[in-house]
Structures are given as C-alpha cells and as structure tokens.
C-alpha cells in the first residue's frame, strides 16, 4: 500500500476522531442505520480523503461482488469516481437493498453448512436469523441470545417460534439464538455433544477448542471432570487432554438439555433420543462432570445454554471474531483468515457501532485501508 493516513483521515472510522471520544454511536441508544449514515456521510466529507478514480472503481467493484454477488453497474462506477462521499453513498445504497439480504442468506447458508428442509427440520433457520439481524439493524449478538427464530414467510424474513421448543415459556427461558435451533442442534450432534459446544466456539469466537483451548476461561478443575475423560486416552489430564476438556466439558454438558433430535428435552426417556458416548451407548452429564460439579464459563456458573450464550456474546472473542468475519466478506477471504493489519480499527469500533453489521461493513468499505488496497 505504501500510503499512511493520519487522524483526520481516520475520522471516517469513529465519526469523532482517532480517539473515538464523543462517538455518537458510543453513548446513549444506538443510532439507527439511517441516522448513522447521515453522521457517517458528514464525517466522510469532513475528512477530505483523496483517492484516485481507479482506487474508487476497484473498491466499489469488490464491494458489489462480495456484498451483492454482482458486478457494479457503469452508472454506479461513474457515480463513485466523483469522490469518497459519492462512493460511500453508493455503498450505503447497496446495504439498504434487497440484494444485500439475499446475499447474506447465501453467505450464512455456506458459513453454517446448513440449508434446506430435511426430515421436517428447517436447516435454513440459522442463516435466516443471521440475515434478519443484518437486514433489520439488530445487535448481532442476538445471533446467540435471541429467544426467537426466523423463517421465510411469503418471501419475507419473519420472527416466530422455534421448533426445538414445545411451548413459548420454554423458548423464552432457554432460547439462545442459533445455538438452540433444531438445525444447529441436529447438524452438530456428536458423541458427548462435544461438537455442539466446539462449533459454537469455532463459528463465533474463531477458536477451535480442540486445537486452541480458551486460556481466558479456566473452566473446570481436574477433579471436576468425570473419569469418563479417560475414554480419550488421558492419564494425567495435564496438559493435553485437560487443556481442552476443562473448557469443552462444561459447555457440552449444557447441551444435554436438548435431545439427539434437537428438541428441548432435559430428561429423554427414549434411549434413541438420549445423548451418546463415543461407543453409541446412552450418555448423561455424569460422563462429563463429577457429581456436584457445576458448569462454569469465564469463572461464572451457568445453568443453561442461554446463560452461557449471553456471557459468550459479550466476550471480547465474539467481538474480534465478528470483525474478522465481516472484513473477510468484503475482502473475499476465507472466514478463518485473520483480520488484516490495516483494518484493525474495525475490530476496535464494533462495540461503538452497536454490533450492527451494516454499520461495520460501511465503516470497513470506506476505510482508507480498504479503498487504497
């Protein structure tokens, strides 16, 4: 890249200067996307960023391809080369249009590797929830905390009940966004429900617990992990096996409240619906935790997937992972690729942007580190 931008240029990012102090999105109720656009456009104009017509055309072409899955039209190109404010307005129009929503659905179908209707299960529920949150300016932490599901009704993403729950009360008390959709629960089932727990970390913290234990979460003590851990060839439980299972076991134990078919059923009487061991036998929480041990996450006791998900959504790993995923969408990179150094600011502004996907994408698409790549 070669060129560096000072504080004045980076006003585009915080809407208030490099320090972010006084950011209108950082105090009080979060701005709607429309109000945010007005503030953002003013900041873009005030920054007086100068990009070449070639840079603006190249950047817009990438944004159109990655956010809308189409090429930018010649009219859009001609508009964008009139300067960063015109380019920003074009990106805003992309984010407000139906093609963005459609592409979000397709992206998350691939991201979750879940789609279609199979044996009565709507495997598009996770993608529909994610696209709904993005399109309707919701705090994206609801991907883990929403006590509702989203389905496509008459071509419109619509909030509704979740098929994993038999009644509204259970859904309100136990619902945890994607993690308690029947699609996720059946799509990630495995022995001891380890995959249900690890997939949550991989998808939303960009961390595979099997290869990269969560060092900020001390999890369980060695004597709180069931002797069943020896199934995994652990003799001393330190460090290799214990290093993973002190995180994994308490999280997986919470998913035992949902049966093999993804229904909320803490005590299934049918062996075919119960959790399974690695040999296919019926498994209980006692296979993961010693008697009297309680699941903990980040030092706090949790009694349900919902308890865990609320803490998880507020954790810095979720923030950082969201920034990584969204900037990688724009850059056409893989979701697992690390955040590029020139866009580190995007991660630091996620909270101020209210975890709003469109705000984060707009900031990234107008960032000097992106436009001038």
**Structural element, H or E, at residue 57:** helix 53-63
Same domain, 218 and 285: yes
Residue 96 and residue 34: Cα distance in Å, rounded?
9
pTM: 0.88
Q: Is the pLDDT of residue 47 over 90?
A: no
Picking from 167, 148, 200, the residue whose alpha carbon sits closest to that of residue 313 is 200
User: Does 84 reside within a domain?
Assistant: yes
Same domain, 181 and 285: yes
Question: Residue 278 has what DSSP assignment?
Answer: T
Select from 269, 292, 313 the last residue of a domain: 313
Long-range pairs of 126-130 with CB within 8 A, sequence gap ≥ 24: 126/178, 126/181, 126/183, 126/184, 128/152, 128/157, 129/177, 129/178, 129/181, 130/104, 130/178
User: Does 365 reside within a domain?
Assistant: yes
User: Does 230 reside within a domain?
Assistant: yes
Please indicate whether residue 70 or residue 292 has the higher confidence score (pLDDT): 70
pLDDT value at position 21?
28
Beta strand ranges found along 218-257 (DSSP E): none
Count the helix, strand and coil residues of the chain and give each as a percent rounded to the nearest 5. Answer: 50, 5, 40
pLDDT value at position 126?
97
pLDDT value at position 28?
58
Picking from 47, 67, 187, the residue whose alpha carbon sits closest to that of residue 122 is 187
Model pLDDT for residues 257-294, shown as the tens digit of each residue: 999 999 999 989 899 999 999 889 999 999 999 998 99
User: Does 269 reside within a domain?
Assistant: yes
Picking from 170, 91, 164, 168, the residue whose alpha carbon sits closest to that of residue 129 is 164
User: Does 117 reside within a domain?
Assistant: no
User: Does 126 reside within a domain?
Assistant: no
Which residues are paired to 150 by β-bridges?
159
Domain residues for the domain of 256 are 142-313
Model pLDDT for residues 96-141, shown as the tens digit of each residue: 999 999 999 999 999 999 999 999 899 999 999 999 999 999 999 9
Same domain, 160 and 236: yes
Mean of the per-residue pLDDT values for the chain? Answer: 87
Model pLDDT for residues 300-322, shown as the tens digit of each residue: 999 999 999 999 999 999 999 99
Same domain, 294 and 355: no
User: What does the pLDDT average to over 357-370?
Assistant: 95
Same domain, 162 and 276: yes
Residue 165 and residue 366: Cα distance in Å, rounded?
42
User: What does the pLDDT average to over 147-169?
Assistant: 96
User: Does 173 reside within a domain?
Assistant: yes
Residue 278 and residue 251: Cα distance in Å, rounded?
17
Same domain, 305 and 362: no
Residue 73 and residue 61: Cα distance in Å, rounded?
9
User: Does 61 reside within a domain?
Assistant: yes
Same domain, 160 and 269: yes
């Amino acid at each position: 890249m070669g060129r560096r931008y000072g504080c004045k240029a980076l006003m585009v990012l915080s809407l208030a200067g490099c320090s972010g102090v006084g950011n209108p999105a950082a105090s009080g109720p979060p701005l709607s996307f429309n109000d945010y656009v007005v503030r953002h456009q003013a900041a873009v104009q005030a920054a007086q960023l100068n990009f070449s017509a070639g840079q603006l055309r190249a950047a817009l072409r990438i944004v159109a391809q990655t956010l809308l899955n189409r090429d930018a039209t010649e009219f859009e190109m001609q508009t964008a080369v009139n300067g960063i404010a015109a380019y920003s307005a074009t990106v805003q129009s992309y984010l407000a249009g139906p093609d963005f929503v459609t592409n979000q659905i397709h992206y998350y179908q691939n991201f979750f590797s879940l789609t279609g209707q199979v044996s009565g299960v709507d495997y598009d529920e996770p993608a529909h929830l994610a696209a709904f949150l993005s399109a309707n300016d919701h705090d994206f932490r609801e991907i883990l905390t929403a006590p509702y599901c989203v389905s496509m009704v008459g071509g419109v993403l619509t909030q509704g009940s979740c098929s994993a729950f038999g009644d509204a009360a259970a859904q309100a008390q136990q619902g945890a966004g994607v993690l308690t959709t029947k699609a996720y629960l059946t799509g990630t089932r495995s022995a001891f429900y380890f995959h249900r727990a690890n997939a949550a970390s991989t998808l939303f913290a960009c961390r595979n617990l099997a290869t990269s234990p969560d060092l900020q979460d001390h999890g369980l003590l060695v004597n709180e992990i069931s002797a069943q851990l020896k199934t995994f060839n652990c003799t001393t439980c330190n460090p290799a096996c214990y290093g993973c299972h002190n995180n994994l076991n308490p999280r997986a134990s919470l998913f035992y409240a949902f049966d093999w078919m993804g229904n909320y059923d803490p005590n299934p009487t049918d062996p075919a619906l119960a959790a399974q061991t690695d040999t296919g036998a019926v498994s209980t929480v006692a296979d993961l935790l010693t008697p009297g041990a309680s699941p903990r996450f980040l030092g706090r006791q949790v009694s349900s997937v919902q308890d865990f998900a609320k803490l998880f959504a507020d954790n810095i790993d979720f923030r950082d992972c969201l920034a990584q995923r969204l900037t990688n969408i724009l850059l056409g990179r893989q979701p697992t690729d690390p955040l590029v150094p020139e866009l580190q600011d995007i991660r630091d502004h996620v909270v101020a942007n209210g975890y709003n996907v469109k705000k984060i994408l707009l900031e990234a698409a107008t960032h000097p580190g992106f436009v001038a790549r």
